[in-house]
């Protein structure tokens, strides 16, 4: 990928609790601390989608929004199918889930639990994880190209 192609594509900033998928080429940026982003890419249709969730599971209270991993991954998967993708052609990448706040109690290890829900849900959906950069203590800024499935990543110190 050269720098010229980066500048010609439309930029989109993905907020926490949101998801984005498009047939058009977009460069989606998002910033992750303990949050996790799952990127889906259809290698045949060249269509990509990404989510950004903050907590692993929806506990049944409030709105069933993609703030929660189990909702966000399934919703993004549905959206990819709506855009004409088939499950067999989809591949996934996972990013984030850093322990930006240190803890030894599992229930509080949001990052770790966010990663686990991604791995488990993708296994259930039978979608391969082709790349990942997860865990650790640092935040991440990622740039996802919906037309090539490529992800650029930069470690950052701030958390979100």
Partner 1 sequence: MIKISDEELLDELKRRFEENKKTVSELHRLNSTLTEVNKKLSDAESMKSHFISNISNEMINPFTSILALSKSILEVEKENWKKVTSLVSLIHTEAFNLDFQFKNIFAAAKIEAGEIYPEISKVNIEGVINEVIDSFKYEAKQKKLTVTFKTKTKAKSFYFKTDPEKLKLILSNLLSNAIKFSNENGKIEIENNFVKDKMIVEVRDYGQGISKENHEIILDRFKKLDTGINSINRGHGLGLSVIKATIDLLEGEFEIDSKLENGATFTFSIPESEAVSEGFTIDGNELLFEEEIS
Secondary structure E strands in 83-127: 90-96
Candidates 22, 45, 129, 159: give the one binding partner 1 (CB under 8 A).
Answer: 129
Cβ neighbours of residue 135 closer than 8 Å, sequence gap 6 or more = 97, 98, 99, 111, 112, 115
d(CA 160, CA 158): 7
44-73 residues in contact with partner 1 (CB under 8 A) are 51, 59-67, 72
d(CA 26, CA 148): 10
User: How many CB atoms within 10 Å of residue 26?
Assistant: 21
Shortest CB 42 distance to partner 1, Å = 13
10-39 residues in contact with partner 1 (CB under 8 A) are 11-13, 15, 17-20, 27, 29
The H or E element that residue 129 is part of is strand 128-134
d(CA 28, CA 99): 23
By CB under 8 A, the count of residues binding partner 1 is 40
Q: Indicate the residue among 86 and 128 with the shorter CB distance to partner 1.
A: 128
d(CA 100, CA 109): 10
108 binds partner 1 (CB under 8 A): no
Shortest CB 22 distance to partner 1, Å = 12
133 binds partner 1 (CB under 8 A): yes
Q: Indicate the residue among 91 and 125 with the shorter CB distance to partner 1.
A: 91
Interface contacts to partner 1, rule CB under 8 A: 1, 3, 6, 11-13, 15, 17-20, 27, 29, 51, 59-67, 72, 75, 93, 129-133, 141, 143, 149-155
């Amino acid at each position: 990928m050269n720098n010229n192609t980066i500048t010609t594509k439309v930029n989109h900033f993905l907020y926490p609790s949101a998801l984005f998928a498009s047939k058009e080429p977009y460069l989606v940026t998002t910033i992750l601390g303990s949050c996790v982003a799952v990127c889906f890419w259809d290698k045949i249709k060249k269509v990509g989608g990404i989510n950004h969730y903050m907590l692993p599971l929806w506990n049944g209270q409030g709105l069933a929004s993609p703030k929660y991993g189990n909702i966000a991954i399934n919703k993004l998967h549905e959206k990819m199918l709506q855009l004409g993708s088939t499950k067999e052609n989809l591949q996934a990448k996972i990013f984030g889930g850093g322990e930006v706040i240190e803890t030894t109690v599992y229930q509080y290890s949001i990052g770790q639990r966010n990663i686990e829900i991604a791995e488990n849900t993708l296994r259930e959906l039978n979608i391969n994880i082709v790349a990942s950069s997860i865990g650790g203590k640092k935040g991440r800024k990622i740039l996802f190209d919906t037309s090539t499935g490529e992800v650029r990543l930069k470690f950052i110190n701030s958390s979100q």
